[in-house]
Structure 1
Amino acid sequence: MTPRVLHILGQLRTGGAEIRTLQLLRSLGDDARLHTIVTLAGVKGELAPQFEELGVKVVPLRARSVSFFLRFFMLIRNDRFDTVHSHVDRSAGYLLPVAKLAGARTRICHFRSDTSPTGGALDRFRRWVLELGIRWAATNIVAVSPGTLEAAWGSHRPSAKCQVLHNGIDVARYRDAVAADLTADLGVAAGATVLLHIGNGGIRTKNRERAIRLLAGVRQERAGAVLIFVGRDGQDAASGVHNRQELRKLATQNGVEDGVIFAGERGDIPALLKASQCLLMTSTLEGVPGVVLEGLAAGMPVIATRLPGTVYIGREILGLTLVDASESDSSWVNAILAAIDNPQSGARISAAVEGSPFNGERSVHEYRTIWAGVTR
């Protein structure tokens, strides 16, 4: 019998966990109707209509309200959910115990970022309490990579409960995409070298500033090269305006003010990837970045920060060049130019993704198995 699954997310905004969950549920066909999402911010979020089109129910609850725990408990009990899947890291420590008491058979704590525990005495106490809740209530503790699992749960983790749960990618959607017309769409000069940077500009660790400096270096060898930022520019409209202004100042200081394009949120990422020469991922903190998998699935060279998640991808898939965050901008520029001037076969890169654990069908099988309460 296919289980009924309740997912827990902050809200359905454009972000890594939300996009991966949407792609995953799209892969389930009619079974997506057996899934419900609770958002903890008290609002659904702008991606909610796309989930609801799949037949997924979205229930906004405000975690800070006095009635939250009762409403959460009654939702699980009344709708008879078999599985509760928390995507909110250690906050699962106060959510999964409720799910256990409400009768959910399978209770999953999912770590997606490499953030290591920090903070003072109060933070350490809070973390200790949340981890107690996870140990008591979680039937499964999963993460997007071995490094993420180690960073999130450490050496004290109970191995019988823990496993890597891979983010999956629909390779064909990216491999077979038709390149966008960037001249007509964004005014990019025909023949220009295009660097693509995808991510939420409102998150400082996405490090858009470095991408601008790298464009300046690339332009010394490739005149007219452009950098396209894709994704929201801030957490809200006002911060987006402010962030764009600051980045334009930096671009002017580096002499590339005419080469930086803010494309905003787009629904045609595969086509943009196909129209570009290189994907940059300059983040200083990630789990397993889905954007890197998307670029590789499209068969394009990807230059990314060396992080536990990208190292894990690189072990499985060719076409990825990793550079330490501590390396100079010139080292990054050299890596970019080498990847553009000596590209590997796009077909081979896409095929490597398809044969890896990040293949969408394999990933869906992993999720279905864990939702059903089957352990390794």
Structure 2
Amino acid sequence: MTGRARVLWLAKGLGRGGAEQLLVNCARHADRSRYEIEVAYVLPHKDALVPALEAAGVPVHCLGAAPGRRWPLRLRALLAERGYDLVHTHMPVPAVAARLLAAGRGGPKLVHTEHNLWERYRRPTRWANAWTYRRNSAVIAVSHAVAEGVGRRRPGDWLSVVHHGPDLGDAPSGPAARRAARDELGLPHGALVIGTVGNLTAKKDQATLLAAFERLRREHPTARLVLVGAGPLESALKARAGEGVLFAGSRGDVPALLPGWDVFCLSSRQEGLPVALMEAMTSGLPSVVTRVGGMPEVLDDGVEGRLVPPGDPAALAAALGALAADAEVRGRMGAAARERSKSFDVAGAQQAIERVYARVLAS
């Protein structure tokens, strides 16, 4: 084809989640000489990242904004109006709709990014996904763990693994940044601070982290725990939180907060490959995370941090306690994490995605 290809990125929402942040990161590194990119999303209330996309020069369409119209109808109208050459879907429900609406001769090519383990989807979602999955011209998995769940769907080179990376730009670092981050959150300058970033949902399992932190405080009574994120379990988690826990809410300044922490933690029961972990490693933080999804692909146990079983407060508390007790180990693991993060390449990830686009559009 000649000229620029018109590409639509389709997501469920544009809230402050890892998958959504990847769209912003990739938009900043897209080859605009080859691809004219637009974004559409379904949920009007999840719009925190819309300004960042628009600042990157990407038009954004809210499919749920038109009164009296269901979003699949708005999507169908948008596809007809804009004449996209390719639709790149993120999240399974909007992906199923796009596969159905784009079917037929002359419709756009379909590329899908799989962010989560296939078996973690709800049964109706799995069924709808399975029924329509072969309509994808290509699938991109964010980790090898995710790829294993979908690789058996059909043979061939239709499946690619692309490790994304954070785009921290000129995020602050050093002693001044540490003081500023602690002042921003009202944290004591001398306290040991553990931080986590994620939506307050069952799959992130902050309940296990709170239980582990309660154990940790018995040995380190001045330690602090910061939870960045919002979600349906916020009230329940606040009700069970003990002393030293700060709920910081949904934040757009996470890179500026990371220098104020000593240890990063994720207690997730499932993950694809979390952007939050890669941001923490890039910031030079040692991490304690669960051995799920793609996290063991980027963090080696005992090198950049510790890997623990999911749903085990005792194991999580022990790993956090070992780091809390030894500043030298924290420093060594943090340096190793920063070194490992040099392999995280958001620009390279977008180039890999665009190679998939080129292959699909040429087929």
The bucket for the TM-score relative to the shorter chain is 0.7 to 0.9
Distance, in Å, in 1 between the alignment partners of 2:238 and 2:61 is: 39
Deviation at 1:318, TM superposition (A): 4.5
Match of 1:140 in 2: 138
Deviation at 1:87, TM superposition (A): 0.3
Whether the 8 Å CA contact 1:168–1:364 is kept in 2: the answer is no
Q: 1:162 and 2:137 equivalent?
A: no
2:40 aligned counterpart, secondary structure: strand
2:91 to 80, 88, 93: 88
1:108 aligned counterpart, secondary structure: strand
Q: How does 1:67-146 map to 2 (within 5 A)?
A: 71-89=74-92, 91-101=94-104, 103-116=106-119, 123=124, 127-135=126-134, 137-146=135-144
Deviation at 1:49, TM superposition (A): 2.1
1:4 aligned counterpart, secondary structure: strand
Partner AA of 1:170 in structure 2: D
Whether the 8 Å CA contact 1:280–1:303 is kept in 2: the answer is yes
Deviation at 1:191, TM superposition (A): 0.6
Deviation at 1:314, TM superposition (A): 2.5
Identity of aligned residues (%): 26
Q: 1:305 and 2:277 equivalent?
A: no
Distance, in Å, in 2 between the alignment partners of 1:268 and 1:351 is: 23
2:210 to 204, 209, 212: 212
Q: 1:353 and 2:338 equivalent?
A: no
Distance, in Å, in 2 between the alignment partners of 1:58 and 1:277 is: 37
Q: 1:366 and 2:358 equivalent?
A: no
Deviation at 1:335, TM superposition (A): 1.3
Partner AA of 2:152 in structure 1: S
Match of 2:223 in 1: 225
Whether the 8 Å CA contact 2:266–2:289 is kept in 1: the answer is yes
Match of 1:181 in 2: 180
TM normalised by structure 2 equals 0.85
Partner AA of 1:264 in structure 2: G
Deviation at 1:291, TM superposition (A): 0.9
1:147 aligned counterpart, secondary structure: helix
Q: 1:199 and 2:198 equivalent?
A: yes
Deviation at 1:181, TM superposition (A): 2.5
Match of 1:262 in 2: 247
Q: Which runs of 5+ in 2 are unaligned?
A: none
1:286 aligned counterpart, secondary structure: coil
Whether the 8 Å CA contact 2:267–2:311 is kept in 1: the answer is no
Deviation at 1:138, TM superposition (A): 1.0
Residues 226 and 364 from structure 1, CA distance in 2 versus in 1: closer, same or farther, beyond 3 angstroms?
same
Deviation at 1:143, TM superposition (A): 1.4
2:119 aligned counterpart, secondary structure: coil
Deviation at 1:330, TM superposition (A): 3.1
Match of 2:318 in 1: 334
2:338 aligned counterpart, secondary structure: helix
Aligned residue pairs total 353
Distance, in Å, in 1 between the alignment partners of 2:206 and 2:136 is: 37
Distance, in Å, in 2 between the alignment partners of 1:276 and 1:365 is: 32
Residues 63 and 145 from structure 1, CA distance in 2 versus in 1: closer, same or farther, beyond 3 angstroms?
farther
Residues 33 and 49 from structure 1, CA distance in 2 versus in 1: closer, same or farther, beyond 3 angstroms?
farther
Deviation at 1:280, TM superposition (A): 0.9
Residues 69 and 101 from structure 1, CA distance in 2 versus in 1: closer, same or farther, beyond 3 angstroms?
farther
Partner AA of 1:78 in structure 2: E
Q: Which runs of 5+ in 1 are unaligned?
A: none
The CA deviation string for residues 110-157 of structure 1, in whole angstroms up to 9 with x for no partner, is 21112516767xx3xx7445423221x211022111221223x26233
Deviation at 1:80, TM superposition (A): 2.9
Distance, in Å, in 2 between the alignment partners of 1:70 and 1:102 is: 19
1:150 to 136, 148, 151: 148
Residues 300 and 183 from structure 1, CA distance in 2 versus in 1: closer, same or farther, beyond 3 angstroms?
closer
Whether the 8 Å CA contact 1:97–1:134 is kept in 2: the answer is no
2:219 aligned counterpart, secondary structure: coil
The CA deviation string for residues 182-205 of structure 1, in whole angstroms up to 9 with x for no partner, is 45323222210001011112x122
Whether the 8 Å CA contact 1:142–1:163 is kept in 2: the answer is yes
Distance, in Å, in 1 between the alignment partners of 2:251 and 2:260 is: 14
Whether the 8 Å CA contact 2:11–2:94 is kept in 1: the answer is no
Match of 2:40 in 1: 38
Deviation at 1:21, TM superposition (A): 0.8
